[in-house]
A and B are shown apart, each in its own frame.
Chain A
Amino acid sequence: MLNIQNVSKTYKGGKRAVNNLSLEINAGDIYGFIGHNGAGKTTTIKAVVGIIDFEAGEITVDGLSVKENPLECKKRIAYIPDNPDLYEYLTGIQYLNFIADLFAISKQEREARIKKYGDAFELTTSFGDLISSYSHGMKQKLALISALLHEPKLMLLDEPFVGLDPKAAVTLKEIMKDMCSKGAAIFFSTHVLEVAEKLCNKVAIIKNGSLVISGKTEEIVKNQSLEELFMQIEG
């Protein structure tokens, strides 16, 4: 589903954020991406989504190159940043309608999905209000709903559980499992290692832009917790 091959990204000023990174995420995977602050998680995710460029390597989504077929890749992807800055001057429903238009979702489908996810996240009654009046958690939920409208094959999330209330966090986990059971893949970065350990069938740990370890969670973790493993790697 997602193939990251020898990708490197250096920012202006010489900071090498990602160094020769290779990862493969298959359909059905819930893949956790773990690393310290500034390790290169967000850079990697943004390179996949097409927000930033990268100078070396190749990224393919469902066999399509993100460099050569960016629009086709984006149609298959959904991205939620850690701090979703949305269009504050739109109401929730206007924003969802806007996203649905861009993904060419039919009227009937969008109505059904907006209602479904709006009720699941208990946000429906606030759809008529301006996004500027939403709390951080509500914006997070709205961003999640907008990401689910076009039934993406690959969902990329940056710290998705930050700001979500416990009920919404449970809802999100259930949605993730449901998506993966239908052949989608989820790739998300997190600092909450217990969640990664319980939810993800695969994890990757990145340190200073380089991949340290990746693979099936139970094989990597073995007889210790993910937290213990992470602390060992960090030193």
Chain B
Amino acid sequence: MLKQIKYLSKIQLCNIWGFNQIKYGKDKKQRNRLLLLLVTIVFLGLFMAVYSGFITFALALIGIGELALVFMLAAVSLLILFFSLYKAGSILFDLGTYDMLISLPLSPAAIVVSRFITMYVRDLGFSLVIMLPAGVVYGVMARPGLSFYFLLLIGIFLLPLLPITIATALGAVITAISSRMKHKNLVTVVLTMLLSVGIIVFSMTFSYGGMDAAGEFTITEDMLKEVGSLAGTQIYGIYPPTRLFAAGVTGNLAAFLGFAATSILPFLATVGLVQWKFVAICSALHSKSTGGNYQMKELSASSPTAALYKRELKRYFASSLYVMNTMIGYVLMVVLAVTVFLTGAEKLEEILQIPGIIARGMPFLLAFMCSISSTTNSTISMEGKQWWLVKSLPVSTRQVFNSKMLVNLTVALPCYVIAVVLLLFAMDVSLLQAIWQIVIPLLYILLVSVMGITLNCKLPVFDWDTEAAVVKQSGAMLFALLIGMVSVLIPMILVFAVQEPFSNIIMVITAAAVLIATLILYRNNNKIDLRDIE
């Protein structure tokens, strides 16, 4: 069995982040796309490493450097949990290769273990880029004994195990529940969305709780120490392995062994459980309900645009991954609005110690959440092998693109309306501020709907094996995120840099610029020949 695990892992890991395709692929476009993805991953990794080192340095300066390790461990665990929650089901129960593998002389256990190894190696990256710089900086500042470095290194490799276990357990439960149901995708989307929102709210709760306990404060070293200690205590209570890790790397061997046990044992138990039920779950996922008893009924006719829109909507909701990755921003918008509504804007401004920040910043915060969420960023790529169908049909480019943009609007607008209504009730804003709160996010929703089409036309990917390749890793998606973020940050910074009424002028300019950009992109999109998109 070890040999089988070795062969399977090798095959899966050789193409991690597309390495094998870059090495052997002859399609220049695909190679460049993968290289761009790699470069982006490296860039993000460097950014996280620098950020981690900087935070550790700052905390070590005021004498609470070991808390930095705790914070970083919690951050890594949360990141792995959040990202693995989406991936766990699709990696573990990848049906694309299931038929081929299960027909070979391989044990299901070997297949399962090799897939866990793949997930582990991917997530180890988070652990390395965040914990290693933190550990090095702490080592330089606090000068611990030699055992610290040794235990830290082991700890870094053990760290991903527990979050993967939790994510896998939750992901497997979701998959197992949905596999028994007719509307598998809908159930998966709802359950995963509830869990994701739960994780986000949970993470907000303990960080908010830590700040709340500090009360009123001016930024002094003592207050920072107190806030840090309180936050650390909160984290220990919510995620006990952090306490074991912190104690372990600073000299308590028993605590470190406890950390190792809490990481390794649940992981092994989960692997055992998944491999025991693996064939049954995959078979259930494989099965498609067929009635074979259809009788002709009265049919309804629609216009071509309506027909395209209905089809696009069905396509969207047929993919839980697509929905999860594109709806999360809009859902966060609603979560934010509910939080402000329940907490009160004034209290939040008190905590942040910047008067008016919520009122002035809210339009951009909402716009930011919209800019990370458009369904159109990958809508053309998602056509995949069916792209020939659209091109062969008697429909214009405008009709095709309009139907795709309508899906984004269908998803975004209800969340936008709920969020804006709640915020207007919760916040004491002037008429102008209320107008910006309504107009700015709406314009950004329109902009990202159109811009997603533009970018996806320029960077389409049709030869994908998994939807994750286009929904999470495509060039169009990455560029859309970057451009969206920058387009929100720049005016936001300017608004905070100037006083009123100049900030209103910035708002007007921003609104006009976004509207003009939207119209220009929309017009240019409609001139595209679909045959040129390949």
Contacts and interface: CB of A to CB of B under 8 A. Distances in A.
A90 to B, nearest CB: 6
Contacts of B394: 71-72, 74-75, 102-103
A48 B43 CA distance: 45
B187 to A, nearest CB: 15
A126 B304 contact: no
A114 B301 CA distance: 13
Contacts of B529: 53
Interface size on B, as a range, is: 35 or more
Contacts of B391: 49-51
Contacts of B318: 89
A128 B294 contact: yes
B311 A106 contact: no
A50 B315 contact: no
B388 interface: yes
Interface residues of A, number: 46
Given A51-B388, A87-B386, A110 B301 contact: yes
Contact of B392 (A72, A79, A90, A118): A79
A97 B294 contact: no
A230 interface: no
Interface stretch (B5-13, B62-70, B285-293): B285-293
A58 to B, nearest CB: 16
Interface in A79-100: 79, 81, 85-87, 89-90, 92-94, 97-100
B304 A101 contact: yes
Contacts of A51: 388, 391-392, 531
Contacts of B302: 101
Nearest to A54: B531
Contacts of A223: none
B320 to A, nearest CB: 12
Interface string A58-88: 0000000000000110110101010001110
B104 interface: no
A171 interface: no
A50 B534 CA distance: 13
A102 B395 contact: yes
7 contacts: A50-B531, A79-B392, A85-B386, A124-B294, A124-B295, A125-B293, A126-B290
Interface of A: 46, 49-53, 71-72, 74-75, 77, 79, 81, 85-87, 89-90, 92-94, 97-107, 110-111, 114-115, 118, 124-130, 132-133
Given A87-B315, A128-B294, 18 more contacts: A50-B391, A71-B395, A71-B396, A87-B311, A87-B314, A87-B389, A90-B314, A98-B307, A100-B301, A101-B304, A102-B393, A111-B296, A114-B299, A115-B296, A125-B294, A126-B292, A130-B289, A130-B290
Interface pairs A-B: 8 shortest CB-CB: A128-B294, A101-B307, A89-B318, A133-B288, A85-B385, A74-B394, A127-B294, A75-B394
